[in-house]
């Protein structure tokens, strides 16, 4: 039987620093985001770079091996997308695939993708903006399909008039 898993979020900055050759210790942003499987923390480095730290807290009842396998699969996909030139995926920065680290959970570190959360309801966003977002989303999905086809070696990107945003932009989609 597995022991109790103890999570130490205060140790995230030092665990991330250990992944870098210069060992700069980032600052842990107080706000975090909860998704279906992971809690995502943002760490900020002195040089203005930021990383997302994905920790699979919401699947804590799964076997350790399953959690680590899940993260390994995510890392593989992110590295494949980067190798194929898919620019909208965050960049893999590093990981700790063990529960025996200072955080108490395995994690992966990714480049932070700046922007704003999109609110979507029957009324918001307004029709012209909604249409633009849907068009841009379709363009990204088509690019993903194209670059992940077996015979494809690189990604096709929509022209700037089709998608006028980019991964890592400090502004929202529009």
The reported pLDDT for the residue numbered 79 is 94
Q: How far apart (Å, rounded) are the C-alpha atoms in residues 26 and 42?
A: 9
What's the CA gap between 111 and 113, in Å, rounded?
A: 6
> Looking at residue 24, what is its pLDDT?
83
* Burial class of 144 by CB neighbour count within 10 A (0 to 12, 13 to 18, 19+): middle
pLDDT score recorded for residue 136: 92
Quick one: pLDDT at residue 107? Answer: 97
Length in residues, the chain? 174
Instruction: Note the pLDDT of residue 153.
Output: 52
b/e code 122-140 from CB counts within 10 Å (16+ = b)? eeebeeeeeeebeebeebb
Burial 61-89 (b: 16+ CB within 10 A, else e): eeeeeebbebbeebbeebeebeebebebb
Eight-state DSSP code of residue 150: T
CA angle 23, 80, 155 (to 5 degrees): 120
Low-confidence ranges of the chain (pLDDT < 70): 1-4, 151-174
- What is the pTM for the complete model shown? 0.78
């Amino acid at each position: 039987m597995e022991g109790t898993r103890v999570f130490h979020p205060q140790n995230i900055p030092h665990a991330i620093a250990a992944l870098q050759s210069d060992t700069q210790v980032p600052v842990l942003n107080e706000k975090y985001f909860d998704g279906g499987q992971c809690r995502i923390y943002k760490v900020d480095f002195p040089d203005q770079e930021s990383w997302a730290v994905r920790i699979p807290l919401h699947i804590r009842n799964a076997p350790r091996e399953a959690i680590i396998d899940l993260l390994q699969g995510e890392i593989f996909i992110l590295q494949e997308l980067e190798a194929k030139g898919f620019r909208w995926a965050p960049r893999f920065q590093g990981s700790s695939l063990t529960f025996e680290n200072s955080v108490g959970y395995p994690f992966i570190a990714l480049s932070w993708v700046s922007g704003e959360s999109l609110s979507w309801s029957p009324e918001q966003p307004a029709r012209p903006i909604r249409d633009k977002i849907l068009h841009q989303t379709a363009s990204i999905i088509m690019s993903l399909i194209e670059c992940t086809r077996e015979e494809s070696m690189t990604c096709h990107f929509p022209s700037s008039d089709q998608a006028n945003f980019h991964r890592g932009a400090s502004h929202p989609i529009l």
